[in-house]
Structure 1
Amino acid sequence: MTSADGYRFDPGFLVDHLGELGGGLLRTVEISVIGMAGALVVGALLGAVSAFRVPVAHQLVRAYVEVFRNTPLLVQIFFLYFALPEVGLRLDAFTVGWLALLLWGGAYNVENFRAGFEAVENGYVEACRALGFSRTAAFRQVAFPLGWRIALPSVTNTQISVFKNSSFMIAISYPELTETAVNIVAVSFRVFEMFLAIGVIYLGLVWLMSWGTRAVERHYAIPGGH
């Protein structure tokens, strides 16, 4: 394909760089999977703390959520990578990558899970208490199984955002997919092909994630659409 100004689309160029793009994609997946898994665990645990107003811990969780939801992810990445070494804590780009995604995604998942747990009707929990269940047992047996299902759509949206935000690691030169593409463009000047390619890769992976999460949501949907 040749444009009016003489530009010629070269698919062979992409074939020549498949190995490099594959390596960048693998590194993107690595930090994304660790970040998403951590964000899920942090969100569920701290969401429960927030929903049930655990003394002192609840205030600490609120502070964490406010900080990481109300500051740009890029600022958080710079703080971890450039500011922490000033106080003697040096983290490599890989660690900063997954940790930044975990902390950012975790803060959003805290709110997702909190809302889910709080949406469980009090009557269910009170019925368990009337049957002799402790508050902890009532949460474990009723509030948690129902609450996480209510939270699932919001949680899956956050998880997808965590994956897409892995591209921010270009700011600290971590060789994920976007950084790899930029480095190839800097040498080859084939901008159109390269960014078209990574755009298609991101789009395809997000579509797969969306399809998978919709299947999970349907499987675990609460009968009656609570």
Structure 2
Amino acid sequence: MSWQIITRSLPIFLKAFELTLWLSALGNICSIIVGILCSLVQYFKVPVLHQIVTAYVELARNTPLLIQLFFLYYAFPVIGLKMSAQTCGIIGLVFLGGAYMAEGFTGGFAGVSPSQIDDGKALGMNNLQLARYVVFPQGFALSMPALTANVIFLIKETSIFSVIAIPELTNTALDLIGLYYRSNEYLLVLVIAYAIILIPVILLLNYLERKVRYGTFGD
């Protein structure tokens, strides 16, 4: 184990670290938005859209991100839709993540008492008002465990981006290992880098989960 080699590699890993953070943040934020919209469509069984969303969720959850990325990066240019590697990575992550988020939120929204929906309708609320004032606030709290698991899952899935040459952490580590044959040093930096990202995220989400749960159901 050479600490000098690790020190020399830190500037390269820092750039990869920043890119991984950016991809993870953007992918998770967009996935949450897609997941919420899809789950509300499923919850209220919006005609036509409900069937489309169900098909999307099943397709996304039952195909690996690796295959999705290959399709976006190599198949789309054949039909004239050429995108950068990072764009393909974000689209693939959101495509996969949105489906998992949708399932998580759907489970949470299903936990809202049907009697509250009936009461809201009796007061003259439409579906948009029911979603905003009744379903979403309670369903979001119930969805926090699934949301936490999915956020962590999507951060780790960014390591798959190495297959389309996005210079994130895993790709950077593999490139350096291929160049200098120092697996121990570069893999150690890789593990530490992911730990630096994931541990604070896990602690923050667990804290938010407790706060939301206590705020909704009492301590």
Note whether the superposition's TM-score is higher than 0.5.
yes
- 2:38 pairs, out of 28, 40, 46, with 46
**Which SS does the other structure have where 1:55 is aligned?**
coil
Q: Structure 1: 5+ residue runs without aligned partners? A: 1-8
Distance between the aligned counterparts of 1:133 and 1:64, measured in 2? 29
TM-score norm. by structure 2 comes to 0.95
Residue 140 of structure 1, CA deviation: 1.5
Which stretches in structure 2 are left out of the alignment for 5+ residues? none
Whether 1:223 aligns to 2:217 is yes
Q: 1:51·1:115 contact (CA, 8 Å) conserved in 2?
A: no
SS in 2 for 1:220: helix
> Aligned to 2:135, what secondary structure does the other structure show?
helix
Please list the CA deviations of residues 38-69 of structure 1 after superposition, one character each: whole Å capped at 9, or x if unmatched: 00000001110011110000000011101110
- Structure having the higher helix fraction is 2
Quote the RMSD (CA, aligned, Å).
1.2
**Structure 1 residue aligned with 2:78, among 86, 104, 118?**
86
Task: List per-residue Cα deviations over 1:8-34 (Å, max 9, x = no partner).
Answer: x11111111110000111111121111
Alpha-carbon separation, structure 1, partners of 2:173 and 2:22? 17
Indicate the residue corresponding to 1:161 in structure 2.
153
**Partner in structure 2 of residue 104 of structure 1:** 96
Aligned to 2:183: 191
**Structure 1 position 63 matched with structure 2 position 68:** no
Runs of 4+ in 1 over 3 A off after TM superposition: none
Structure 1 residue 133 corresponds to structure 2 residue 122: no
**Aligned partner (choices 5, 8, 30) of residue 13 of structure 1:** 5
Give the greater-gyration-radius structure (CA).
1
Contact 2:117 2:130 in 1 (8 A): yes
Residue type of the alignment partner of 1:184: L
Cα distance in structure 2, aligned partners of 1:191 and 1:220: 43
1:43 corresponds to which letter in structure 2? Answer: G
Please give the alpha-carbon distance, in whole angstroms, between the structure 2 residues aligned to 1:172 and 1:138. Answer: 43
When the two structures are superposed, what TM-score results if normalisation uses the length of structure 1?
0.92
Letter of the 2:209 counterpart: E
Deviations 1:146-183 (A, max 9, x none): 01111111012111111110010110111111111111
Secondary structure of the structure 1 residue equivalent to 2:138? helix
Contact 1:125 1:139 in 2 (8 A): no
- Please give the alpha-carbon distance, in whole angstroms, between the structure 2 residues aligned to 1:186 and 1:135: 56
SS of the residue corresponding to residue 133 of structure 1 reads: coil
C-alpha distance in 1, partners of 2:163/2:217? 45
> 2:170: which partner in 1?
178
1:132 alignment partner, SS class: coil
Q: Contact between 1:73 and 1:104, CA under 8 Å: does it hold in 2?
A: yes
* One-letter amino acid matched to 2:125: F
Deviation of 1:195 (Å): 0.5
The corresponding residue for 2:206 is 214
Same amino acid, percent of matched pairs: 34
Q: Which residue of 2 aligns with 1:34?
A: 26
